[in-house]
Amino acid sequence: MTWLLTRGRVPFLSALLALTAFFAVHAARIGVETNNESLNTQEAEQTARYDRFKATFGSDEDLLLAVAHPKLLGREGLELVDALTGRIARIDGVRRVFSLSNAQQIVSGESGAEMAPVVAPPLDDPALAIRIRAVLDRNPDFTGLFVSRDRRVAGLLIEIEDRPGDERYRAAIIDALRGIIAEPHAEGVSLHLTGIAVQKHDVSAFIEQDQRLLMPLAVAVLALVLAVFFRNWLGVLLPLGVTGVTSAWTLGAYQLAGFQLNAITSLLPPILMVLSLPVSVHLIQGWLDAPAASINRVDRILGVMRWVVFPCFFCSLTTALGFSSLVTSSMPAVRQFGVFAALGVVLSFGVGMTLVPVGLSFLAPPAAALRSPQHRLLRRLLAASAAAATEHPWRVLAVFSALTAVSFAGLPLLHNNTDLVRFLKRAAPLYRDTLFIDANLTGSITLEFVSARRDGTPLTSLDAVRRMAAFEQAVLAHEHVTGVGSIVPVLRQIQRAESRGEQLVLPDNERDAAYAFDLLEAAPEQDLIRKLIAPDFTSARFNVRVRAVGTAIAAPLADAILADGRRLFGDDYIVTATGALYNVAQDSNRLVASQVNSFSLALLLVVIAIGALLRSVRLTFIALIPNLMPIAWTGGLMGAFGIDLSTGTAMIASAVIGVIVDDTIHYMTDYRRVYRGDPGDAIRRTTTGIGPALLLNNLVLVLGFWVGCFGSFKPTIYFSLLSGATMITAMLCDLFVTPACLMLFDRRQAVAA
């Protein structure tokens, strides 16, 4: 080490610079994921089922454009819808556009059922609106999908081509549509766009936007805090240097591993910056506080290193273990976050323990220990906390235990809920547009169900048709369901046209049922029919349109519909659920379940690490109390304020446990170092001695995490906010509960002796 601080400084810095440049180049090349693939779990059966669905019925990621017009069914309104339909259909990557202007109804023709346009020319017919209203009243299935109930909003269903490997065309389509929306329109006319593809597009755009904002903000916040605390330029530059090197290396490795940033890992850059600071802060604080007698700069640095290396190593270890526990998650994005946050922490320890000493070796040590006015104020506050813990340990524990008990009341109120739309802020275009479409047209999200006979025979029998119709009616009876797209309404229209009747009824005998399918087989609109039933009629799709709800509602709704399906179809049929929303709901449930495993693993690893450091079962137990309390408080707080467990918030406990335990490790290590038989004295010396550094570390961590509050996604905002809040409460527990427990532990030992 002496070599490194003397002759080895230049080679070391050169090598560090070269490596950092290499990784920085790669870090700068990190892309942003455009399809949210890493937010889906890799559950084999679920993926295979969804692939089969897409292979049979096509993608379920259609876009929905709503056109509000005060005279929609008049000439101007219909011409606008027609113009938009044609214009959008010409955009590269758009397969088809279905709208009021090209919708077909099934009517009685000379030889039975035949297709006829809903909007038949001439458009300057004075009775046009009356004519179209009559058609819409006669075909209730169009309402909700192509036109609102009040006939003022039209829906354009935009089917997108599937181009595997092409990550750009969807974004180009959405940009083109947003361009059309932004154009000036007549008074009272507005356009609104939603769909899964829009969600993916906007998530990518927000990630890029957040990267541009959060990184500079994190640097500014950290620099400010360090400057205020140290009032010394090296106290700012050296920690930021460690942060820069760590971030470059970790993000470079992330890019080299072939990953792109997603909604979760977009938090990595600011969090890496925060997590890589503590080692530097402890080293610089120790160097500044070292006794003036140690004037040899190398000896002074080595002394500080010997003092902090052990606790810093264990702190880094526990933090890394906490994050690495996320590898048990079923979601790739969470696993990537855990692995690379842990890697960053380990790297920051190595870089901090070398770069900071080398940097300090260039400087002349201060003649006297740093004593700033803030420190005096802080130390008075810290002395007061130490006094409270040593003089009234039972009261302190009673107060904190009572708070914990209260927080337990909020835990049952926690809900597992992933709401892709409400993840965004209210001002986000997708949020506003989705809720508009939800209120005026059909539900903006869909659950997909597929029914098939076990023996693989077609669903063309009268029995199969009746079972499909019964299932359709059962689905429609569920709350939150706004409509069901299936082959059943088409069969009703065919039967009405064939029988030349007025009522929408299903075929009532085998011949008519089979004939309806014969007509479907021979129909010209095969693309549309293939979206509802397999070409060989062996499996049928039920596209259940649902209001924009989160997975807390969607998951049990899907289960209830699946139960209906199994009951109504019987043992001879297979009914399965799939689709983008269903998969998100399943992933969300799996994520929370896996986070429980992650937290258990993190806790176990942290206990082992603390046990190895303290070599005392009782002290390890004491160390856990001030760290579990704040996590329980945060959980209770989330339950009380209705903050859902979701992709981001479910990670808090696992990620934070490894961070907050660091203060406890530093505190207990220092306590044992200064303990001379009087626990009260040791607590006072520990609290006022390392308290300022702990507070600074916490302040840096909290502010660093809170930088994420300026992000675009609520789960990451909540993750940042609540992680920071947990760190504050954990600090309070370390300043009150830990010393109170140590006091009581010492008394029991004294009594036992």
Partner 1 sequence: MRTGHLLLLVFVMFLAWPSAARAQEVVPARLAPWLDATTERVVERAYVPSAESKVGEVRILRRSQATVVETLLYTKVLSRVVGEICKKELANWPGNSDAARYIEMLERVQKQIWSRLPTNQRVSDRRQKLWIDFVVAPGVAFIGVGAFEMEEPHGEVRVKRRELLALLEPSPEYVRRNLRLITADAFHIEDAAVGPLLGPLP
Chain residues in the site for partner 1 (CB under 8 A):
109-112, 460-461, 509-512, 514-515, 518-519, 521-522
* SS3 letters across 630-649: HHHHHHHHHHHCCCCECCCH
Minimum Å gap between C-beta 450 and partner 1 is 23
* Identity of the residue, 125 or 463, whose beta carbon is nearer to partner 1 in the bound complex: 463
Nearest distance, CB of residue 124 and partner 1, angstroms: 30
Smallest gap from Cβ 461 to partner 1, in A, equals 6
Residue 518 beta carbon to partner 1: minimum distance, rounded to whole angstroms: 4
* Structure tokens belonging to residue 89: 């259909």
Min separation Cβ 121 and partner 1, Å: 22
Q: Of 37 and 521, which has the nearer Cβ to partner 1?
A: 521
C-beta closer to partner 1: residue 518 or 678? 518
β-strands 481-485, 63-68 pairing = unpaired
Q: Mutual orientation of helices 196-230 and 268-275 as an angle, nearest 10°?
A: 20
Q: How far is CA 188 from the centre of its chain?
A: 36
Nearest to partner 1 of 514, 607 (CB atom): 514
In 58-109, where does DSSP find H-type helix? 75-89
Q: Six-digit token pair at 690? A: 């390392």
Q: Are 278 and 697 in contact (CB under 8 A)?
A: yes
Least distance (Å) from partner 1 to the CB of residue 58? 22
Is residue 440 within 8 Å of residue 670, measured between CB atoms?
no
Task: Output DSSP code: residue 548.
Answer: S
Quick one: 125 or 510, whose CB is closer to partner 1? 510
Q: Which is nearer to partner 1, 510 or 527 (CB)?
A: 510
Report yes or no: 64 and 78 within 8 Å, Cβ to Cβ.
no
Cβ of residue 116: shortest distance to partner 1, in angstroms?
A: 15
The least distance separating partner 1 from the CB of residue 159, rounded to whole angstroms, comes to 24
Minimum Å gap between C-beta 142 and partner 1 is 25
- Which residue, 493 or 647, has its beta carbon nearer to partner 1? 493
In the bound state with partner 1, the residue whose beta carbon lies nearer, of 106 and 743, is: 106
Question: Closest CB to partner 1 among 45 and 110?
Answer: 110
Q: What is the DSSP letter of 686?
A: H
Q: CB of 92: closest distance to partner 1 in angstroms?
A: 29
Cis peptide before 535 (omega within 30 of 0): no
Q: What angle, 0 to 180 degrees and rounded to 10, lies between the N-to-C axes of helices 9-28 and 233-256? A: 50
Closest listed residue to residue 552, CA positions, set 651, 413, 411, 416? 416
Least distance between partner 1 and beta carbon 505 (Å):
16
The residues pairing with 447 across neighbouring beta strands, listed in sequence order, are 544
Which residues neighbour 128 within 8 Å (Cβ) at sequence distance 6 or greater? 73, 74, 75, 78, 122
Q: Report d(CA 616, CA 621) in Å as an integer.
A: 9
DSSP, collapsed to helix, strand or coil, labels residue 622 as: helix
For partner 1, the closer CB: 368 or 509? 509
Residue 237, token pair as written in the block: 């530059």
In angstroms, rounded to a whole number, what is the distance separating the alpha carbons of residues 290 and 301?
A: 9
Helix (H) or strand (E) holding 418: none
| Dist CA 194 CA 173 (whole Å) | 13
Q: Report, in Å, the least distance between residue 462 CB and partner 1.
A: 8
Q: Pick between residue 110 and residue 187 the one whose CB is nearest to partner 1.
A: 110
Name the phi and psi angles at 127, rounded to 5: -95, 15
Task: Give the CA distances from residue 47 to residues 43, 53, 264, 584, 745, in Å, rounded to whole numbers and listed in that order.
Answer: 6, 10, 21, 12, 54
Nearer of residues 111 and 503 to partner 1, judged by Cβ: 111
Pairing of strands 445-453, 573-578: antiparallel
Residue 374 or 499 having the CB closest to partner 1: 499
Q: Which of 689, 660, 655 is nearest to 672 (CA)?
A: 689
Nearer to partner 1, 27 or 487 (CB): 487
Q: Closest approach of Cβ 197 to partner 1, in Å?
A: 34
The packing angle between helices 196-230 and 169-182, to 10°, is: 90
How far are the Cα atoms of 430, 434, 439, 551, 712 from residue 426, in angstroms, in the given order? 9, 11, 16, 19, 10
CB of 503 to partner 1, least distance (A): 20
Give whichever of 151 and 496 is closer to partner 1, judged by the CB atom.
Answer: 496
CB-wise, 99 or 460, nearer to partner 1? 460
For 257, 295, 363, 365, 690, the CA distances from 305, given in Å and listed in that order, are: 33, 15, 16, 15, 15
| Interhelix angle 510-522/462-476, nearest 10 degrees | 80
DSSP string, 286-321: HHHHS-TT---HHHHHHHHHHHHHHHHHHHHHHHHH
CB 172 within 8 A of CB 166: no
Q: State the minimum distance, in angstroms, from the CB of residue 523 to partner 1.
A: 9
* Closest CB 542 distance from partner 1, rounded Å: 23
Identity of the residue, 110 or 124, whose beta carbon is nearer to partner 1 in the bound complex: 110
CA-based nearest residue to 303, from 370, 363, 357: 357
SS3 573: strand
110 vs 455, beta carbon nearer partner 1: 110
Within 8 A by CB and 6+ apart from 538, the residues are 452, 453, 456, 457, 458, 459
Least Å from the CB of residue 111 to partner 1? 3
The CB-of-500 to partner 1 minimum distance in angstroms stands at 13
